[in-house]
Structure 1
Amino acid sequence: MYVSLPELLWMAPEHLRVYPPRQISQSGDVYSFAIILYEMCTRTEPYTDETWYQSLDDTLRRIKRGSPCVRPTLKEGGPFAQDASASHNVMDVLLRRMEQYANNLEGLVEAKTQAFLDEKRRSEELLYQVLPRSVANQLLTGKSVNPEAFDSVTVYFSDIVGFTSMSAVSTAFQESVVRAPFRVETIGDAYMVVSGLPERNGIEHVRQIARMSLTILRNVRQFVISHMPQTSLKARIGLHSGPVCAGVVGRKMPRYCLFGDTVNTASRMESSGEAMKIQISDETRTLLKTFETFVITKRGIIEVKGKGSMTTYWLIDEITTQNDGLDLPMPI
């Protein structure tokens, strides 16, 4: 007994009668080649269009019996007959069909290639959302990303005051003003952003983060919770500037992480701050003063967990040509 396999349809009857094992012969090869030509000419599998066709097992039994002789039928008026009448040459028809197959295959390859490129682009865009572009490009080209030290960056931390109590009845708040800085982490209502890495930008990082912070605070003031219109959304923001180390952690799910006291101090600036205010360290204030456009007031000396006594400041606004001469908002 043998299992009926579709490929046995290409086996010559004399070989099929003794199968298994497989037999080889010149006449058997000619038979198999003829079945292949039938498929090329009709674009169908052998025997499936026969009026007597019932199943693969039944067909194989008929072929083995050999009386009457069972062969696939070329119907008159079919596509092969029409092509043959036009060319009067079977080889011309076969060559034309093979050319059609080649063209179809070229189209399929082009479509598959385009689908691959589209998927590659989507994967790259996803990677660019979780890693800085320069770092992502290194990973995509198979290069390792070594940890790197940065002398001066500005780190932003924010927190939505009362988020825990509101989260059960509120939708997520999405900030749409982060452009040049790189968003490092989002955990619940906590938001961490850094500028000045992986591409160094002099001291421009402090101005980018300061402007982003002011814009976020303005947006928070205008934000209305649809199902809680009487409840005001309040953010607490802290900034600190200084050196950090950065690198990629993980292989299957890589993350770009920052390390160093600068990160801890920025977090403390947020946690020890007040609602709807931007607390900055003396280091951040010193850098901002070089631009001569930011309004900063002194908060005073406070005790900061893990840091001891620190002199901190409130970032109030930025004076630009658009708001020169206008009343500046006071700290809330």
Structure 2
Amino acid sequence: MIRRRVHISNATLSFLNGEFEVEPAHGEDREEALQKAGIVTYFIVRALKPFKPAVTKSLASLTEDSRRTMDARDGRNNNKEDSEEFRQRLRKELDSKTGGAHLKGHAHWLTLRFKDAKVESAFHNAEEAFSPLSLLGGPLVMICTAPVWRFQPWGPFTWGGIGVVLLFAVVLAGATCLASAVKAMWLRRALALLMTFSLGDFLLLDMFNCVVIEENLPILNATITVSSKCPYPSYYSYFGVLTLVAISMPSYVCYLGKAFLMYGIAGAQCLINIYLLDVRLDWEDYASSPFEPSPVPSKYCLSATLLIVATSLVIVSRYAEKSRRMLYLRGREVVAQRERAADMKRRNGALIYNILPPHVAAYFLSRARHHDDLYSQSYADVGVLFASMPNFADFYSEESINNQGLECLRFLNEVISDFDAILDQTKFKDIIKIKTIGSTYMAASGITESAESEDTARWGHLSTLVEFALELKKALSSINEQSFNHFVLKMGINHGPVTAGVIGARKPHYDIWGNTVNVASRMESTGKVGCIQVTDETRKILEPFGFGFEQRGLVFVKGKGQLLTHYLVSKDGVSLNLDSDLPVEPTYPIIYQ
């Protein structure tokens, strides 16, 4: 039976306050580093004072009881405050829904134009595609008034108004056929103004026909019979109401422009009713109720109706435009939020692709994967590399001159970053960085999908892994020249089957396991500074790729016994001179500003 015990140092034991029974572990006898540091180790045998989780529970209960006591003490006051706060929040939310508060800081209160000229321009360009439906109010008004034309006078003014209406109808028909192509704002507004002009022109000119005929009539009295021409002048005011409704329909004309046009037409009709058609309107009042005259003449009632309708339509147009602008702003916010979400998704994807190999990251980002699924994969032909800087431990120091070791870590980050940059080269696409352990860099080849699918030599990726190791050596040499240091690499490579997987839910980590990994680590730890050590089996695989080796001899490897190992010395017959990187003088920390 395997006994699992906690291994602690004498410093840790001093903080336990005698709550645990310990026994000597003699770790300093087994580990040279502990012996050099003067650290004595112990095993924890058992706990003398059992842990009481009820303390935490009672503390939580005390906190809950205190909260309940305070709630009971405050009682109704808290409920009132919460209720009032809820009402205020609800009122604020409803105000924002209406659009007033939403547009307050973005648009002018009178014109409703956005303060930002770019937003205003984008609002007009982003309006819905041109639809002739909003311009159909003009023809609809003409159709609705057509049955009444036969009761009205036909004169030169009427023929001119009909000509303008027909011109508008032709232009509108052409715009309807090309509705998808009509996107220019000026053309939309031109069509809307043409519709307004045609309606107003026809209406006002036809009213003048009635005024001209008025001059040929005798003075009105109870015994005079009126001519059959223009017997119902009040109809023009009703036509004017329909005209005002048609003018208020186009959404791409601002409400102030609509107000100007509607008040202009309504005002012109009011003047004609009061000063030019007053006699005929008075006769129409007399004819409709000869025995009970109206207390207010119809010329004033109709004029007031026109002005009230115009004012109501201006208010409705303002509210409609405010709503459109509010919806546009909210649409921009939705688009901005969607872009931020997409950007965050891209960033998260990039982060996952930086943490995990591409094929593993694609698996975790797929929708088919369940969040509880454990990723693992077995590979038969994998190359494993360990590369460490053995003299970095002497370089690292936590003195004030090194900012408590921060400058040393800054230098190590520069080295590791340069190593990572090498992986961006196309020829090293099949090599995956597994992790860094202190100053040790671990990488593997043969675990990507491209390495498995390519029709190349079975162990071509292992040859690439050796070339990657040589590039690491060149990169470190360049850093040494720039920083006036003399760091070296000690590397070990092995090949064989491994098991890969992702471990952890909070901070997932991709790693590989197996005897191949253990032997590769031993090749690095038992190797020589500045050299690449491999096993005899790995040497046999790499020699056909042009690599030359020098036999080292038998090396004891934990769990494997004595293994015959070799050092890489040449490539394609050219000596690599790996021993030239051996340090000839001690290194000292360099301060980087």
Instruction: State whether residues 135 and 145 of structure 1, in contact with CA within 8 Å, keep that contact through their aligned partners in structure 2.
Output: no
Aligned to 1:146: 375
Change (3 A) 1:37 1:160: closer
Instruction: State whether residues 377 and 501 of structure 2, in contact with CA within 8 Å, keep that contact through their aligned partners in structure 1.
Output: yes
Instruction: State whether residues 281 and 312 of structure 1, in contact with CA within 8 Å, keep that contact through their aligned partners in structure 2.
Output: yes
Tell me, in whole angstroms, the C-alpha distance in 1 between the residues paired with 2:97 and 2:442: 67
1:141-186 Cα deviation digits (max 9, x unpaired) = 2413532211110000011021111123532122232342111111
Tell me, in whole angstroms, the C-alpha distance in 1 between the residues paired with 2:524 and 2:391: 14
TM (normalized to structure 2)? 0.41
Change (3 A) 1:203 1:42: closer
Aligned to 1:78: 110
Aligned to 1:190: 440
Instruction: State whether residues 389 and 487 of structure 2, in contact with CA within 8 Å, keep that contact through their aligned partners in structure 1.
Output: yes
Tell me, in whole angstroms, the C-alpha distance in 2 between the residues paired with 1:36 and 1:276: 69
Matched, 1:128 2:382: no
Equivalent position to 2:498, from 223, 244, 249: 244
Aligned residues: 270
Aligned to 2:395: 166
1:262-314 Cα deviation digits (max 9, x unpaired) = 000000000010111001112222221232x2222222222223322111111
More helix by share: 2
Aligned to 2:525: 271
What is the deviation of 1:84? Answer: 7.3
Instruction: State whether residues 270 and 279 of structure 1, in contact with CA within 8 Å, keep that contact through their aligned partners in structure 2.
Output: yes
Q: Structure 1: which amino acid aligns with 2:571?
A: E
Change (3 A) 1:330 1:110: same
Task: List alignment gaps of at least 5 residues for structure 2.
Answer: 1-76, 113-254, 263-309, 403-407, 453-457, 580-593
Change (3 A) 1:106 1:78: closer
1:219-251 Cα deviation digits (max 9, x unpaired) = 223332766x2x411110000000011111112
- More moved, 157-166 vs 36-45: 36-45
Instruction: State whether residues 280 and 314 of structure 1, in contact with CA within 8 Å, keep that contact through their aligned partners in structure 2.
Output: yes
Instruction: State whether residues 153 and 243 of structure 1, in contact with CA within 8 Å, keep that contact through their aligned partners in structure 2.
Output: yes
Aligned to 1:310: 563
Change (3 A) 1:109 1:39: closer
Task: State the identity as a percent.
Answer: 24
Instruction: State whether residues 99 and 326 of structure 2, in contact with CA within 8 Å, keep that contact through their aligned partners in structure 1.
Output: no
What is the deviation of 1:140? Answer: 1.5
What is the deviation of 1:214? Answer: 1.1
What is the deviation of 1:192? Answer: 0.7
Aligned to 2:321: 96
Instruction: State whether residues 281 and 311 of structure 1, in contact with CA within 8 Å, keep that contact through their aligned partners in structure 2.
Output: yes
Aligned to 2:550: 297
Q: Structure 2: which amino acid aligns with 1:78?
A: L
Tell me, in whole angstroms, the C-alpha distance in 2 between the residues paired with 1:304 and 1:6: 71
Instruction: State whether residues 41 and 94 of structure 1, in contact with CA within 8 Å, keep that contact through their aligned partners in structure 2.
Output: no
Aligned to 2:479: 223
Q: Structure 2: which amino acid aligns with 1:99?
A: R
Matched, 1:177 2:406: no
Change (3 A) 1:5 1:39: farther
1:26-81 Cα deviation digits (max 9, x unpaired) = xxxxxxx9x99996499559xxxxxxxxxxxxxxxxxxxxxxxxxxxxxxx93479
SS of the equivalent of 1:234 reads coil
CA RMSD of aligned residues (A): 3.3
- More moved, 88-97 vs 114-123: 88-97
Greater radius of gyration (CA): 2
Equivalent position to 2:537, from 263, 269, 283: 283
Change (3 A) 1:10 1:284: closer
Tell me, in whole angstroms, the C-alpha distance in 1 between the residues paired with 2:396 and 2:561: 33
Larger relative contact order, structure 1 or 2 (CA cutoff 8 Å, min sep 6)? 1
Tell me, in whole angstroms, the C-alpha distance in 2 between the residues paired with 1:37 and 1:191: 57
Aligned to 2:577: 330
More strand by share: 1
SS of the equivalent of 1:223 reads helix
